[in-house]
Amino acid sequence: MISRAERSAFSDWAWTIDRWLLAALALIVVSGLVFAMAGSPPVAERLHLPTFHFVNRQVMYLAPALLIMLGVSFLSPRHVRRAAIILWVASLGLVVATLFFGQEVKGARRWIFGVQPSEFLKPAFVIVVAWAFSEGAKRRDVPGNAIALVLLPLTIAPLVLQPDIGQTMLISLVWAGLLFMAGIHWFWVAGIGGVGATAVVAAYKFLPHVHARIARFLEPQAAGQGVADTFQADTALYSFIGGSWLGKGPGEGTYKRILPDAHTDFIFAVIGEEFGVVVCIALAALFAFIVLRGLFSAARNEDPFCAFATAGLVMLFGLQSCINMAVNLQLMPAKGMTLPFISYGGSSLISLALGMGFLLALTRRRPRSQVHVELSAAGAPA
């Protein structure tokens, strides 16, 4: 048992960490391992790999991911800002490098040195933009909104060129959410919304893969691609139907044996078939709890930077979860988006752990006097 009188970095962390948030994240991580054991063996066998190849690799990635999440959660808000700026610059540089030296997979260059840098760009961008918005809210002499407006195209331009429309959309939606938080005038909201709508139409008209995905989603047969092009989405939907409310039981699923991405983008469908809709709803509720917990924490936080960054990180986490689930349920075109801490993937897992480490650091309880001192030092009224 740790005494409140004990003064050390660990004791301070233990008494100030949001234990409910930490427990929810731990539960998702454990659930991810269970679901990985259900969804990944058939994929490994199809690729002539050992049965638990992907499970073992997920555990291998999980060890450093947990160390990163817990280590980052010890940081102060000031150190979170500094770390995010360094990470944003490095990640953006690597994303640009993928355009020239990256490995091409399915017509897109998103990987370099075995890493997908856009995954690390997301949490870093959210915190850097949150800092810009918060500085604008605290100090009238700082053009925070204008800086945030410049950061968005600077970040998403190389993503569009990869192309990675899913990550571009996710980052843009989180940025828009923070824009609303900043209280910008409705005139600017309408103008930026118009630019966003124009960008979507332009992507549909001039990017063949975007046009094909949307066309297949709206009219699968009329798109001229046939049944094979909607195979994964159709099979995922059949998985939910086959699992019904209570599922067929762990390891008893059949559709996962023919679902190519059963261990990554479509693992939610595997969960639906083997564990049932009830477990899917419980998992969605767990994601919702983390998002709501973060938003309530942001609403109570007196530090504008912590409030913006916390809200942005949980929006990023929640939107990514919703997009993945919606794709599995055929409510959206396929995006290539992972389900946080559930889908297989080293870059995704470590970047999510980093983002949630930032979240745990920013939601730690701090004395009001300490917050006022930090705000005064930053030039804001206490």
**Range from 37-41, 117-121, 161-165 that averages highest in pLDDT:** 117-121
pLDDT level of residue 2 (50, 70, 90 thresholds): low
174 falls within a domain = yes
Q: What confidence tens digit (pLDDT) does each residue in 238-255 have?
A: 999 998 899 899 888 888
Q: Burial of 13 by CB count in 10 Å (0-12 exposed, 13-18 middle, 19+ buried)?
A: middle
Mean pLDDT, residues 185-202 taken together: 72
pLDDT band at 20 (very low <50, low <70, confident <90, very high): very high
**Region of poorest pLDDT, from 47-61, 131-145, 309-323, 351-365:** 131-145
Confidence of residue 318 (pLDDT cuts 50, 70, 90): very high
CA–CA distance, 80 with 376 (Å, rounded to integer): 19
Q: What is the mean pLDDT of the chain?
A: 86
Residue 17 included in any domain: no
Q: Does the structure show a pLDDT above 70 at 6?
A: no
Model confidence band, residue 310 (pLDDT cutoffs 50, 70, 90): very high
- Identify the CA nearest to 356 among candidates 3, 15, 6, 21: 21
Q: Which of the two residues, 61 and 229, has the higher pLDDT score?
A: 61
Top-confidence residue, 3 or 56: 56
Checking if the pLDDT of 4 tops 50, the result is yes
Answer whether residue 4 is part of any domain: no
Higher pLDDT, 142 or 45: 45
In a domain, 90, yes or no: yes
φ, ψ for residue 115, nearest 5 deg? -125, 145
Percent of the chain exceeding pLDDT 90 equals 52
Rounded Cα–Cα distance for residues 210 and 207 (Å): 5
pLDDT of residue 207: 67
In single-letter form, the type of residue at position 234 comes to: D
User: In 3D, which of 357, 312, 365 has the Cα closest to residue 134?
Assistant: 312
| Phi, psi angles (nearest 5°) of residue 53 | -55, -50
Q: What is the pLDDT of residues 159-176, one digit of tens each?
A: 988 888 889 999 999 999
pLDDT at 229 > cutoff 80: no
What pLDDT, on a 0 to 100 scale, did the predictor assign at position 125? 97
Say whether pLDDT at 30 is over 90: yes
> Do 109 and 98 form a contact (C-beta atoms < 8 A)?
yes
Q: Is 5 part of any domain?
A: no
Q: How many domains does the chain have?
A: 1
Task: Report the distance separating Cα 115 and Cα 347, nearest Å.
Answer: 6
Alpha helices by DSSP H, listed for 207-266, are 208-218, 231-243
Nearest Cα to 133, choosing from 150, 118, 119, 156?
150
Query: Residue 222 pLDDT more than 60?
Result: no
- Asked whether residue 221 is assigned to any structural domain, the reply reads yes
| Comparison of pLDDT for 368 and 295, the residue scoring more | 295
Whether the per-residue pLDDT at 316 is higher than 60: the answer is yes
Amino acid at 269: A
* Residue 122: HSE in the Cβ half-sphere, 13 Å Cα cutoff: 32
CA distances from 331 to 115, 243, 323, 356, 374 (A): 29, 19, 9, 27, 45
- Both tokens assigned to 298: 């942001």
Q: CA–CA separation, 165 vs 272, rounded Å?
A: 27
The DSSP bridge pattern shows strands 103-105 and 108-111 to be antiparallel
- The pLDDT score that the predictor gives to residue 382 is 37
Confidence of residue 274 (pLDDT cuts 50, 70, 90): very high
Q: What average pLDDT score do residues 32-39 get?
A: 91
Would 83 be classed as within a structural domain? Answer: yes
| First-to-last C-alpha distance (Å) of the chain | 36
Q: What is the pTM of this model?
A: 0.88
Residues 232 and 229: their CA atoms lie apart, in Å, by: 8
Task: Identify which of 86, 23, 22, 34 has the alpha carbon closest to the alpha carbon of residue 356.
Answer: 22
Per the structure, the complete domain to which residue 148 belongs is given by: 26-375
**Torsion sign, CA atoms 85, 89, 95, 101:** negative
CA dihedral (318, 319, 320, 326) positive or negative: positive
Q: Is the pLDDT of residue 371 over 70?
A: no
Q: Say if 14 falls within a structural domain.
A: no
Chain segment 78-114, per-residue pLDDT in tens: 999 999 999 999 999 999 999 888 877 766 778 888 8
Per-residue pLDDT at 7 exceeds 80: no
Q: Judge whether 351 and 334 are in contact, CB under 8 Å.
A: no
**pLDDT band at residue 195 under the 50/70/90 scheme:** confident
Q: Where are the alpha helices (DSSP H) in 18-141?
A: 19-39, 41-46, 53-72, 77-101, 117-138
Tell me: the pLDDT tens digits for 72-81?
A: 999 999 999 9
